[in-house]
Amino acid sequence: AQSVTQLDSHVSVSEGTPVLLRCNYSSSYSPSLFWYVQHPNKGLQLLLKYTSAATLVKGINGFEAEFKKSETSFHLTKPSAHMSDAAEYFCVVGSGGSNYKLTFGKGTLLTVNP
């Protein structure tokens, strides 16, 4: 069984300030972890992916995430928020071998204030 908990349903930051979106996971297998972003009325775009190589993963648009096994966390960060970062962010765990599937967190809505 696997699950994902996104600790904040809504995060509000000012443009130019750091972003931190928190995610904790549980998985019976060695998981793959993802962050997806969904802009309003749009599809899901892959930001970054962890698959047991480097624990610090760099993604698109300046985002990165650090896998911490001891804390079962995979928090998403960005040094400086941009207005275009305003969107819903989903932390996702993937596992299951031949029945590989994704389990989504509930999402964190990021608001960026001018």
Interacting residues with other proteins (CB under 8 A) = 32, 34, 36, 42-46, 49, 51, 90, 94, 96, 98-107
| Phi and psi, residue 55, nearest 5° | -80, -20
| Nearest CB to other proteins, comparing residues 45 and 113 | 45
| Nearest CB to other proteins, comparing residues 7 and 44 | 44
| Nearest CB to other proteins, comparing residues 16 and 106 | 106
Minimum distance from CB of 27 to other proteins (Å)? 14
| Residue the block writes with tokens 């989903």 | 90
Minimum distance from CB of 77 to other proteins (Å)? 21
Contact call for residues 89 and 36 (beta carbons, < 8 A): yes
Amino acid at 111: T
Minimum distance from CB of 103 to other proteins (Å)? 8
**88 contact partners, CB below 8 Å, separation of at least 6:** 37, 38, 39, 107, 108, 109, 110
